[in-house]
Amino acid sequence: MGSAAADALLPLDPETFAAESHAVVDFLDGYYRNIQSYPVRPDAELGRLRTLLPDAAPEDGEPVDVVLEDVRRHIVPGLMHWQSPSFFAYYPMNASTAGFAGEMLSAGLNVVPFAWAASPAATELEAVVVDWMAKLVGLPERFLFSGGGGGVLQGSTCEAVVCTLVAARDRALIMLGGHEGILRLVVYASDQSHSTFQKGARIVGIPPANFRVIQTSAASSYGLTADSVRRAVDADVASGLVPLYLCATVGTTGLGAVDPLRELGEVARRYDMWLHVDAAHAGSSLICREFQDCLDGAELADSVSMNPHKWFLTNMECCCLWVASPAALTSALSSNPEYLNNISTENAAAMDMVDYKDWQIALSRPFRAMKLWVVLRRYGAVAMRAYIRRHIDMARWFELELEADERFEVVVPRRFSLVAFRLRPRHEGDDVEALNRRLLMAINSSTGRAFLTHFVVDNKFIIRLAVGGAMTEMQHVRAGWVLVQEKAKEVGATPGRY
Amino acid sequence: MGSAAADALLPLDPETFAAESHAVVDFLDGYYRNIQSYPVRPDAELGRLRTLLPDAAPEDGEPVDVVLEDVRRHIVPGLMHWQSPSFFAYYPMNASTAGFAGEMLSAGLNVVPFAWAASPAATELEAVVVDWMAKLVGLPERFLFSGGGGGVLQGSTCEAVVCTLVAARDRALIMLGGHEGILRLVVYASDQSHSTFQKGARIVGIPPANFRVIQTSAASSYGLTADSVRRAVDADVASGLVPLYLCATVGTTGLGAVDPLRELGEVARRYDMWLHVDAAHAGSSLICREFQDCLDGAELADSVSMNPHKWFLTNMECCCLWVASPAALTSALSSNPEYLNNISTENAAAMDMVDYKDWQIALSRPFRAMKLWVVLRRYGAVAMRAYIRRHIDMARWFELELEADERFEVVVPRRFSLVAFRLRPRHEGDDVEALNRRLLMAINSSTGRAFLTHFVVDNKFIIRLAVGGAMTEMQHVRAGWVLVQEKAKEVGATPGRY
């Protein structure tokens, strides 16, 4: 489009829309076909892209193929390829054809379901789909709308945590009789909890000194114990502080550890603390019965969250948050400015209507339910369970290989699809930390054949292999194992010398 | 996909991906072609969708055309059609072919640029594109990376407000020497500011009693005045409180009012308050020189935000937040858990690297920059300016029609694309409020020919017509005016009797 056509810009002209959108689909089709030819982690130089692009936005538009060619030439080579089948870092973020279809529908319809009246079907689909997910993962009835609770789709766990912290905080402040109570509120997490809890507590104004990091250990497989929580809480209560919020995790980020919900729930109840269960990654595996024992005691929790955008084929962003008491959430997060009132539905206000703006931080919000609904409709629960189990089988295979190799140790028993391992010391006094750092560096520098990240626990440097890419097949995990062995030899860990 | 194929689920199989994604493009193409045949606002019955859908997620998957057929039959009829050319409510949310292309690329690549190392080109494109936008809207150099500031793409103004409030709060708490200072911090907004400021202040732990709503009036066209702010601040300082944060708006939600940045900036400086400028909707118009006088004094602000997803053809969600001091933001929002460290780039940590996780609430984040970049590349600044001016011309035409009709009054002078109007009283003592309520109800009940919303100021019920849909052409605004006249007559406002 040259400047001559400027005043004829028709942003949603159907002819252009279809032709250009088909071109983008073909571009992505090519990307997926070639993805294995890219280094998983780019060999990027800081600031390089800026030197390739002009200093200012163009005055004149350009055809879509020129733009796509620039994506291919300038952007793609500098991306980390999160959808690569050899991406084993952090926790993978699954894309899928169905998730993409849902995202397209959501972006194309571009409705804003901040209130029921602002897009009734979008609000209702969200309420339906969070109930579906709650049933699939085996949550107690109290987190379903039919059980007096309910769910909402947020963008991230972090937002879900901020919302539940605000709800818990405001409930506590009412009981304490004034805002100065905020100085006495204490949030409890383990040294394995996600950093979002500490950040979230800080965001909502909990004094940083009142965030307790409770140590875990190998003895409890890095899960919290009721005893350790009770000790921390008792000490705080003794010094006049008020226990507010306890974070429990099903599948921690670093090691995949699981906190015991029932015993933590009992402690939380005793001290009137809000219990949040973070199942961001492992939550997806709970659709398989064999993992649902992780939820034993979940009926004692106040809120639960999991991210379908991680391991449930729902492209970014999609986080399910369920609460037992929607009123606790909405009484802390409601706002009713005049410009949002819909006079034609005023009478309905008293009815059983969900206005999701009061369940989250932001007012505006996309139609996220579409994405999760299309994934569930297109694939169905049977195939999703098989998909999750396939990843877990691959991780199990990798773990068995490690166990059969005297050079390696599996640091914590694998439970889901994350394997945490390292090279063992050969001799007393070996600098095994440096050795493992060198190993990970060698793996990740191997011209991008795979990408893994690390963790540190009990001062041990640990390498993490997280299976869960939408394109990851057994052959990629096998190639990953070949790579790990090869690089172990390179850094000096030769078999037969242990 | 039947259950037999369950263990063969290949979520990103290129063949399936292309075929199904093309089908979704065609579905949306059909949606846009037919959009004018749908009532803008659905005639929805609460809970209807739930009765149409099963109680639980399906066990077996289904072909994409079955899913799309259900979208067509069950979902579309219950949607508010935000992309309808006759959607004049709230502020429109623009979709476009380019915005959709960008969203497809972002969702398809599905990378997570939480840190530079986690996807270098995605981080760098974001830094480039927020600089481009800053230049386009004429922001002072201090909000550009080259000027020591910088920008980030958030999901919503609400998130941007929470982040800047946290930055301001933590800076103040350090100066006050302790967390108990939080009880003394005060946030100032006008009675026209967006509700997100009050909600944001509450979220970050400012005592609700310390949120000041400063009254505006017709005399200042509903903009704040320095005097009124100073009076409120002086009173608070006299009672031992600490002024923290002042919200200024360029284009308020209710009426499109503009606060005078220079005089407010001078007050903010004198009292060491953080000044945030919210240009959520009107910010897009600042790409036209004739509106840039609204930014006079913006160099006195600490942060500025605007939403390309409203009026800049960038599908949801995309909010530009610029700050003069990135350090103020990142020192309040940083977290550095071990599992995110990238050992191969540890040495680069000291370098000039932007890790956007420390500029926002959430850790995970989508590749939003792609969307804004594709819009700017594809359309260019010249066409975007023409697009914005076209909407403003349409709003001006509507305003002139109102002014030429004795029955109506334009309540505040139109500045951007929002017209705020109402029926005038015919006789002393007329219940003009009820009359205007009836008028709006009649307009919106007219079998969905258009959708408008209202506002209340100085106890006056006002009807808002906001032009800004991506498909809105002069013919739709004309039809809107015909509808308003027709319904005015229906509710009893006959011409010639005023």
Q: Does the structure show a pLDDT above 80 at A17? A: yes
Residue A276: strand pairing partners: A247, A303
Give, for A388, the enclosing helix (H) or strand (E).
helix A369-403
Tens digit of each residue's pLDDT (9 = 90 or more) over A113-145: 999 999 999 999 999 999 999 999 999 999 999
Coil, helix or strand at residue A431: coil
Mean pLDDT of chain B: 94
Q: Bigger pLDDT: A58 or B346?
A: A58
CA angle A44, B355, A165 (to 5 degrees): 145
Tens digit of each residue's pLDDT (9 = 90 or more) over B277-291: 999 999 999 999 999
Burial of B199 (0-12, 13-18, 19+ CB in 10 A): buried
Please give the pLDDT value at position A337.
77
Please give the pLDDT value at position B4.
42
Phi-psi region of A302 (alpha: psi -120 to 50; beta: other; left: phi over 0): alpha
Q: Bigger pLDDT: A397 or B7?
A: A397
Lowest average pLDDT, out of A196-200, A317-321, B351-355, goes to: B351-355
Place of tokens 């494109």: B125
* pLDDT confidence bin for B347, thresholds 50/70/90: very low
Specify whether the CB–CB gap between A156 and A278 falls below 8 A: no
Residue B189 C-alpha, separation from nearest chain A C-alpha, in angstroms: 14
Contacts of B411 (CB under 8 A, 6+ apart): B255, B420, B421, B422, B457, B460, B462
Burial of B436 (0-12, 13-18, 19+ CB in 10 A): buried
Please give the pLDDT value at position A348.
45
Please give the pLDDT value at position B44.
83
Residues 338-367 of B with CB under 8 A from A: 338-344, 348, 351-353, 361-366
Q: Write down the ipTM of this complex.
A: 0.96
Please give the pLDDT value at position A343.
55
Identity of residue B17:
F
Please give the pLDDT value at position A8.
78
Which of B175, B335, B241 lies closest to A201 in space, CA to CA?
B335
Q: Does the structure show a pLDDT above 80 at B5? A: no
Residues 244-273 of A with CB under 8 A from B: 253-254
Residues 295-314 of B with CB under 8 A from A: 309, 313
Select from A33, A67, A446 the residue whose CB has the most chain B CBs within 10 Å, as the one to mutate to test that interface: A67
Instruction: Report the largest interatomic distance among the alpha carbons of chain B, rounded to a whole angstrom.
Output: 79
CA–CA dist B182, B283 (Å, integer): 32
Please give the pLDDT value at position B493.
86
Residues 202-221 of A with CB under 8 A from B: 202-209
Select from A1, A7, A9 the residue whose CB has the most chain B CBs within 10 Å, as the one to mutate to test that interface: A9
Q: Does the structure show a pLDDT above 50 at B349? A: no
Contacts of B364 (CB under 8 A, 6+ apart): A93, A156, A157, A158, A309, A316, A317, B112, B114
Tens digit of each residue's pLDDT (9 = 90 or more) over A33-43: 999 999 999 98
> Which residue is closest to B146 within chain A, CA to CA?
A55
Over residues B93-111, the mean pLDDT reads 97
Q: Does the structure show a pLDDT above 80 at B305? A: yes
Task: Please give the CATH number for the structural domain made up of B111-366.
Answer: 3.40.640.10
CA–CA dist A107, B83 (Å, integer): 11
Mean pLDDT of chain A: 94
Coil, helix or strand at residue A274: strand
Which of B243, B246, B229 lies closest to B172 in space, CA to CA?
B243
Tens digit of each residue's pLDDT (9 = 90 or more) over B432-451: 999 999 999 999 997 889 99
Q: Does the structure show a pLDDT above 70 at B469? A: yes
Place of tokens 């507590």: A201
User: What are the chain A neighbours of B338 within 8 Å (beta carbons)?
Assistant: 254, 454-456
Tens digit of each residue's pLDDT (9 = 90 or more) over A282-296: 999 999 999 999 999
Tens digit of each residue's pLDDT (9 = 90 or more) over A372-396: 999 999 999 999 999 999 999 999 9
Residue A455: strand pairing partners: A462
Return the top range by mean pLDDT from A165-179, A418-432, B441-455: A165-179
Q: Does the structure show a pLDDT above 90 at B210? A: yes
Q: What is the end-to-end Cα distance of chain B in Å, rounded?
A: 67
Residues 428-487 of B with CB under 8 A from A: 437, 440-441, 444-445, 453-456, 464, 470-471
Over residues B99-128, the mean pLDDT reads 97
Specify whether the CB–CB gap between B266 and B238 falls below 8 A: no
Share above pLDDT 70 across residues of chain A, in percent, rounded to a whole number:
96
Over residues B110-125, the mean pLDDT reads 95
User: What are the chain A neighbours of B435 within 8 Å (beta carbons)?
Assistant: none
Q: Does the structure show a pLDDT above 90 at A252? A: yes
Please give the pLDDT value at position A353.
82
User: What are the chain A neighbours of B253 within 8 Å (beta carbons)?
Assistant: 337, 339
* pLDDT confidence bin for B497, thresholds 50/70/90: low
Q: Which of B49, B104, B370 sits opposite A124 (nearest CB)?
A: B49
Select from B38, B62, B66, B71 the residue whose CB has the most chain A CBs within 10 Å, as the one to mutate to test that interface: B71
Tens digit of each residue's pLDDT (9 = 90 or more) over B290-303: 999 999 999 999 99
CA–CA dist B397, B394 (Å, integer): 5
Please give the pLDDT value at position B2.
40
Q: Does the structure show a pLDDT above 70 at A320? A: yes
Tens digit of each residue's pLDDT (9 = 90 or more) over A212-245: 999 999 999 999 999 999 999 999 999 999 999 9
